[in-house]
Structure 1
Amino acid sequence: MLDTLLELPFALNRHRDAPLLEERLAFLKYLQERGTSRVALRNVSGQMLHVIDLLKLKTLRDVELGEVKEAARRWGEQQRANAKARSYVRTQSYFEYVAKNWLRFAGRLKSTPTPRPWFTDHLEDFARWMTEEQGLSPLSVRSHQWKASRFLTWLAGKHPSLASVRLQDVDEFLILQGSTRWNRTSVTVAAQALRSFFRHAERRGWCKCGIAEGIAAPRRYVHEGLPEGPTWTEVQRLLAGIQGKSASALRARAILSLFAIYGLRSGEVSRLLLSDFDWSAETFAVTHSKRGGTQRYPLQNEVGEAILEYITKARPRTDCRHLFVTLHMPHRRVETSSLWRLTSHRLKAAGILCRRNGPHSLRHACATHLLQEGLSLKEIGDLLGHRSAMSTGIYAKVDITMLRRVADFDLGGLL
C-alpha cells in the first residue's frame, strides 16, 4: 500500500523502516476500505510516524487519553516555528485526531472513567420530569438541563449538596455569567431554566423552599430582540455567489437555500432524511425542533434543483440515510455546529456583515421578507413552525406598516 501512497524513494524507505509497520498498514487499509482518499491516507500515514515518536511507541501499547492530549500539545508547540504548518492549533488537533482514531481502532486507547458528580441523578430526574410530565420538546429539555448543569458544576465547588444552597448562590452565578460570558437575554433564559429546576427540586425535597420564586432575571428592553440578520437583497447575493460544481459548493447551495427560503432551524435541516422527500408530489417533510410533529412543505423549484444536484453529483455513497452528510470518511450526518460554521463562512465570504452569522440569521431574513411581502403573522408562523403568534411577533418590530400590505405570495419568487 505504501507504494501507492508515496512516490519519493526516501519517503517510502522512511515509512518502511519506522516501527509498527504492520499495525500502521492495518489502519491504513481499514481507512481505505471505507473510502478515504489517497491524499488523506498519505497525511494519516505521515502523522502516525509523529504519533509513534512523541508517544515513544516501540509496541502498540495501551495509551491513556491524557497522554495523547499531552503529546498533541507538545507537537503543537513544536509546530509554532514551522512555517509550513497552517497553524499550530490545527496541527495539534490533527495529531490528536489521528492518534485517537488509530489507537481506538487497535483497541489501545484507554480513558480513565470520570467520577459521576453528586448532582447527576438530580439532572436525570429533572429531565424525566420535563419530558414525561411537562411535555417539553427534546430541544427544550436539553437546553434547561444544560443550564442547570452549568450552575450545579459551578456550585459543586461551594456546596456538597442542594440542601445547603441559598438564593444568594443563584444570584451570584447569574451575575458572574452575565458579567463574563452571557448577554442579558442568555442570563434571562438561564434564570427561567433554574427557576424550573428549583421548583422541581423543592417538590422533591432536595432544597429549601422559596428559592425558585426568588430567582430574578434581568430586565429585557422592548427592542432588544430585534432580528439581526442580512437583508433579503444580501440573501439573494449570498445564494447567487455560491459558484462552482465542487461537492462543498453543491452541498452549501442546497443547505443555505433551505435556511433562506423556508426559514428552517439548523436541527431541522440536520435531521432531514432522503426518505423525507416525495419527488413525485414535490413536497418534503420537516420534523420541527421545538413544537414537535412533522409538517410537509411544497418543494420550491430552485431549492429542489439544488438538492437534486447535490444528491446526484456531490453526496457520497453511504449507508447513512440523512440528506446532508460529511464529505469525508466516516460519512455521518452534518451536525448543527457544522451547519453554523458553514453559514458563517459563506456569509463572511460574501462580504455580508451582521452580528448573527449562523443559520438563525437566515431564518430572521426569511421571516422579515415574508412580512414585507404582506403575509400575516399566522401564515409566517405556520411556515416557521412557531407554536404561537407571540413567537412570530418579533418580526413585526421591523416594520409594522408592512402588516397592512396584503399581497399574494409565491414561494417561487423568492430567488
Structure 2
Amino acid sequence: MSKSDCELIAELKAVLISQQYSPVVVGNYCAYARGFLDHLARRNILVTDVTEAQVERYLRDAVALFRQRRGRRPGPRWHQIPCAGIHALLRLVQGQWPPAPKATCAADALRFTISNEYETWLHEERGFARPSIDAFLWEARHFLAWQLERCGVEGLMDLSIGDVDRYMDLRAPKLTRCSLKAVAERLRSLLRYLHITGRVTTDLSGHVIAPTLYAYEGVPSVLDRGQIAAVLESAKKDKTPAGLRDHAILQLLAAYGLRSGEIRHLRIEDIDWRTEAIHVRHYKTRATTFLPLLEPVGEAVLAYLRSGRPVTDAREIFIRTRAPYRKLDKLYSVVRRRLRDAGVQPPGKCGPHIFRHARAVEMLRAAVPQKVIGDLLGHRSTGSTAPYLKLATEDLRTVALDVPGMEVLA
C-alpha cells in the first residue's frame, strides 16, 4: 500500500473514532477499506474515480473468494460490514456516496435538468413540504427515464395519452388502489408542469385515470386505552438505552398523537423545562404548536436524556443507538417491535400513526371540539380531522336513530 493510502486509512480511522464507532467496528471497516485500496492499486484505478459498478463488482469477487477459501457462501448479511467500510472510505474521499448521477447522454441531461427545475417549482410555486417533494420527484424521475428511454429526447414533446396509459398500466400491478391514486396525482402534477414549461404540446394531466376512492371507505387501525397502557408498561421495563428512548417516544405518541417526523425532528431546545412546555414543529403543514409538557412525558424524556442518549453533537433528542450517532430515520420499526413485545396486534397497520388515531378518538369521546383536535394534531383544516370520526364507531351507535317501521317488523 502506498504512503498516500496509509495516510488515507489513518484519516478514515480518525473519522470513525470521532463518530464514536466501537474499536472492533473501526478495525473491521479499516481492514476492508485497506483491502479495497489494494484492489484498486492492482488495477491502476484512482479512488477518486471509483463508480458504484466497480464497488459492486469488487463485492461479488469478494463473495467468490470467500466461497473458494471456505467451501461455502457467506451469510446473507456478511457483505454489510465490507460494504459499510468501503462506503465510509469513499464518502471521505469523494465527499458523497453514492455519487450524484452524471449525464452520459442527451436523455440523461434533459432528465436531470427537468428534475432540478421541477424540484424548484414544487418548493417555490406549490409550497410543498420536503417529504412531499421527494415523493413527487421520485415519480417524475421514474416517468422521465421510462419515456426518454423509449422515445428519446425528441419523443417527449409528442407525449400522448397512450404513453400515459401505458405508464399507469406499468405501475399498477404491484400497487394498492390508494397507492395507485397517489401515483396518478403525482403524474398529473408532472404533466401539468411539462405543459406549463412548453416541453409538452398538450396538457395531458386531465387524462390520467386513477381508481376512485370513496370518502372514509377505509377504517385505519386504532389502539384502545388498555392496549396503549400495555405497550407503555412493556417498554418502561426495558432499561437499556434503546428501551429508555423507545419509552419516551411512545409517551409522546400516546400523549399528543404527534407524527413520526415531528418526533424525529424534536430538538433539545424545543423542551422548556422551566415553563414545562414543548414546542412542536408540524413539518407537513409548516405550523408550530406549543403544548404543555405532561408529567409522564417529561419523566420519560428526562430519563432518556440522563441515562440513554449517547454523547453526540446532534441537537435532535432521539438518536440512533449505534454509531454514527444521528437522528432516527423512521419510527415504524420501533413501534412495531414494541407492539410485538407487549403482545398487541392491531388488525391493520402497526406504525406510529395508530397512536395518532387513538388520541383523536379519545378526544372525540371526551367531546373536544373538532377544531381543537385539528389544532393539536397539526391539521390545516377541519376537513383533515373529519376522517377520525369514523373511528369512534361505538360512540356513533349510541346516537343512532331508530329506523321508522322497525317496530312493525319486530
1:92 correspondence with 2:79 = yes
Confirm or deny: 8 A CA contact 1:159 1:165 kept in the other structure: no
Confirm or deny: 8 A CA contact 2:21 2:323 kept in the other structure: yes
Distance 2:6 2:110 in 1: 46
Structural mapping, 1:332-343, within 5 Å: 332-336=326-330, 339-343=331-335
Question: In the alignment, residue 244 of structure 1 is paired with which amino acid?
Answer: D
Confirm or deny: 8 A CA contact 2:289 2:376 kept in the other structure: no
Instruction: Report the counterpart of residue 250 of structure 2 in structure 1.
Output: 256
Q: Select which of 75, 87, 102 maps to 1:114.
A: 102
- TM-score using structure 2 length: 0.81
Question: 1:218, CA displacement in angstroms?
Answer: 0.5
Instruction: Report the counterpart of residue 127 of structure 1 in structure 2.
Output: 119
Question: Judging changes above 3 Å, is the alpha-carbon distance between structure 1 residues 209 and 25 closer, same or farther for their aligned structure 2 residues?
Answer: closer
Distance 1:224 1:331 in 2: 42
Q: Select which of 351, 360, 364 maps to 1:367.
A: 360
Instruction: Report the counterpart of residue 183 of structure 2 in structure 1.
Output: 190
Question: 1:107, CA displacement in angstroms?
Answer: 6.2
Confirm or deny: 8 A CA contact 1:270 1:324 kept in the other structure: yes
Question: 1:23, CA displacement in angstroms?
Answer: 5.8
Instruction: Report the counterpart of residue 411 of structure 1 in structure 2.
Output: none
Instruction: Report the counterpart of residue 204 of structure 1 in structure 2.
Output: 197
Confirm or deny: 8 A CA contact 1:324 1:334 kept in the other structure: yes
Secondary structure of the residue aligned to 1:268 is helix
Secondary structure of the residue aligned to 1:179 is coil
Q: Select which of 228, 231, 254 maps to 1:238.
A: 231
Deviation digits for residues 88-119 of structure 1 (CA, Å, limit 9, x no counterpart)? 33221221001221354466999695314522
Question: 1:393, CA displacement in angstroms?
Answer: 1.2
Secondary structure of the residue aligned to 2:291 is strand
Question: 1:335, CA displacement in angstroms?
Answer: 1.9
RMSD: 3.4
Confirm or deny: 8 A CA contact 1:79 1:88 kept in the other structure: no
| Structure 2, unaligned runs of 5 or more | 400-410
Question: In the alignment, residue 70 of structure 1 is paired with which amino acid?
Answer: R
Instruction: Report the counterpart of residue 10 of structure 1 in structure 2.
Output: none
Distance 2:339 2:132 in 1: 28
Secondary structure of the residue aligned to 1:89 is coil
Secondary structure of the residue aligned to 1:207 is coil
Distance 1:220 1:395 in 2: 17
Q: Select which of 1, 7, 22 maps to 1:37.
A: 22
Question: In the alignment, residue 102 of structure 2 is paired with which amino acid?
Answer: T
Question: Judging changes above 3 Å, is the alpha-carbon distance between structure 1 residues 201 and 48 closer, same or farther for their aligned structure 2 residues?
Answer: closer
* 61-70 or 85-94, which deviates more: 85-94
Confirm or deny: 8 A CA contact 1:72 1:93 kept in the other structure: no
Confirm or deny: 8 A CA contact 1:247 1:315 kept in the other structure: yes
Confirm or deny: 8 A CA contact 1:130 1:141 kept in the other structure: yes
Question: 1:188, CA displacement in angstroms?
Answer: 1.0
Question: Judging changes above 3 Å, is the alpha-carbon distance between structure 1 residues 224 and 69 closer, same or farther for their aligned structure 2 residues?
Answer: farther
Instruction: Report the counterpart of residue 291 of structure 1 in structure 2.
Output: 285
Distance 2:125 2:387 in 1: 29
Q: Select which of 304, 312, 322 maps to 2:306.
A: 312
- TM-score using structure 1 length: 0.80
Distance 1:100 1:271 in 2: 26
Question: In the alignment, residue 212 of structure 1 is paired with which amino acid?
Answer: S
Deviation digits for residues 201-223 of structure 1 (CA, Å, limit 9, x no counterpart)? 22222213241122221011445
Question: Judging changes above 3 Å, is the alpha-carbon distance between structure 1 residues 389 and 103 closer, same or farther for their aligned structure 2 residues?
Answer: closer
Confirm or deny: 8 A CA contact 2:30 2:85 kept in the other structure: no
Distance 2:396 2:42 in 1: 69
Q: Select which of 68, 72, 89 maps to 1:102.
A: 89
Instruction: Report the counterpart of residue 282 of structure 1 in structure 2.
Output: 276
Secondary structure of the residue aligned to 1:140 is helix
Distance 1:99 1:238 in 2: 39
Question: Judging changes above 3 Å, is the alpha-carbon distance between structure 1 residues 73 and 390 closer, same or farther for their aligned structure 2 residues?
Answer: farther
Distance 1:127 1:362 in 2: 32
Distance 1:87 1:294 in 2: 50
Aligned residues: 383
Question: Judging changes above 3 Å, is the alpha-carbon distance between structure 1 residues 296 and 195 closer, same or farther for their aligned structure 2 residues?
Answer: same
Question: Judging changes above 3 Å, is the alpha-carbon distance between structure 1 residues 170 and 77 closer, same or farther for their aligned structure 2 residues?
Answer: farther
Instruction: Report the counterpart of residue 143 of structure 1 in structure 2.
Output: 135
Identity of aligned residues (%): 30
Question: In the alignment, residue 253 of structure 2 is paired with which amino acid?
Answer: F
Instruction: Report the counterpart of residue 270 of structure 1 in structure 2.
Output: 264
Distance 2:254 2:64 in 1: 42
* 395-404 or 300-309, which deviates more: 395-404
Confirm or deny: 8 A CA contact 1:69 1:96 kept in the other structure: no
Q: Select which of 333, 341, 345 maps to 2:337.
A: 345
* 50-59 or 393-402, which deviates more: 50-59
Question: Judging changes above 3 Å, is the alpha-carbon distance between structure 1 residues 145 and 104 closer, same or farther for their aligned structure 2 residues?
Answer: closer
Q: Select which of 206, 209, 223 maps to 1:213.
A: 206
Question: 1:57, CA displacement in angstroms?
Answer: 6.5
Instruction: Report the counterpart of residue 54 of structure 2 in structure 1.
Output: 67
* 47-56 or 299-308, which deviates more: 47-56
Distance 1:286 1:114 in 2: 39
Distance 2:67 2:296 in 1: 46
Deviation digits for residues 62-97 of structure 1 (CA, Å, limit 9, x no counterpart)? 2443222223344456778999x9983322122100
Confirm or deny: 8 A CA contact 1:278 1:284 kept in the other structure: yes
